[in-house]
Amino acid sequence: MRVALLFIDGVGIGKKDPTSNPLARAELLVSQFDDGTGTALPHGGRLRALDATFEVTGRPQSATNQTAIYTGEPAPKLLGRHLLGYPNAALAELIAQRSIVKRLVAAGRSASFANGFPAIYFEVVGKHRHFKPSASTLAFRAAQVALKVLPEGLPADIDGARARARGFEVPGRTAAEAAHAFWALAEDFTLFEHFAADEAGHEQDAEAVSHALATFDAFARAVVASRPSDAQVLVVSDHGNAEDLTTRSHTLNRVPLLAFGASDLEGLQNVADVGRYVLAQLEVPQ
């Protein structure tokens, strides 16, 4: 069995109100709502609503909750607070020790980060204080799995428009072409990350949120439709944001875990459980 994880930053399960929630304006896979309604998932997909707060005071943040996903550990509780942005020294040490990628590789399983990074990223990250590594890159670094350079890997916005606008040579791809490229890069565990919806949510830019969500949705549907028989596809977020444009801040809402080809999800309660689920599916002792 293989596991593909499509991570979309900043998408929660909110109110079915199209005036404030862009997810209520379209039939997206992540258009799931707190009244129990939402888009019917194709290909036998199932929804599990996950807690993002860990019962820690404050609003969930990216550094702690992404660390939770990529370690399987309750990072906000361990840190004692929610931390925005990028992992600090304590979270980086947690990732170095408990990265699910590190544990997978140590158990003889293979891993791939499907995102591609511009060559300049490798020159500046970790060397300049404004360029800090994300939880995901630290998780793969802990396993000594090399990151991919554009255009080998997929651009974070999927179609490559943002990278080309910045002068990088990245091919334009349809959703189906991007899905084909994703599966060509796939290993036992494969991660793809998408951040544009969260960025647009902080700007309260409904048009940009809708564009980001639609681009991700088309890609995710194509990945699921072309899923090999020996693979599961999981779609998950770290915290809410884009589902409530009445605020620039993250929300306290639960987040969706969409699972295609997956086994029992009943035991999953919070976003850290996603990391532990991946380990279990790939038969890695915990």
d(C-alpha 41, C-alpha 29), whole Å = 6
pTM surpassing 0.75?
yes
Nearest-5° Cα angle at 54, 202 to 190 = 70
Omega within 30 of 0 (cis) for the link into 256: no
Tens digit of pLDDT at every position of the chain (286 positions) = 999 999 999 999 999 999 999 999 999 999 999 999 999 999 999 999 999 999 999 999 999 999 999 999 999 999 999 999 999 999 999 999 999 999 999 999 999 999 999 988 888 776 666 678 999 999 999 999 999 999 999 999 999 998 899 888 899 999 999 999 999 999 999 999 999 999 999 999 999 999 999 999 999 999 999 999 999 999 999 999 999 999 999 999 999 999 999 888 999 999 999 999 999 999 998 8
The predicted structure's pLDDT at residue 15: 98
Note the Cα 176 to chain centre separation in Å: 19
Number of Cβ atoms within 10 Å of the Cβ of 152:
12
Please write down the long-range contacts of 101-106, taking CB distance under 8 Å and 24 or more positions apart: 101/70, 101/139, 101/140, 101/142, 101/143, 101/145, 101/189, 102/139, 102/142, 102/143, 103/279, 103/284, 103/286, 104/143, 104/188, 104/189, 104/278, 104/279, 104/282, 104/284, 105/143, 105/144, 105/145, 106/143
Q: Is 72 left (phi over 0), alpha (psi -120 to 50) or beta?
A: left
pLDDT of residue 252: 98
Are β-strands 116-117 and 148-149 bridged in parallel, bridged antiparallel, or unpaired? parallel
pLDDT for the residue numbered 167: 86
Query: With respect to CATH, is domain 2-281 assigned 3.40.50.300?
Result: no
Give the residue among 170, 165, 133, 166 at the shortest CA–CA distance from 151. 170
Residue from 113, 130, 134 nearest 192 by CA: 113
pLDDT given at position 231:
98
At residue 196, the pLDDT reads 96
Helices and strands in the chain, H and E counts = 11, 8
Give the pLDDT of residue 129: 63
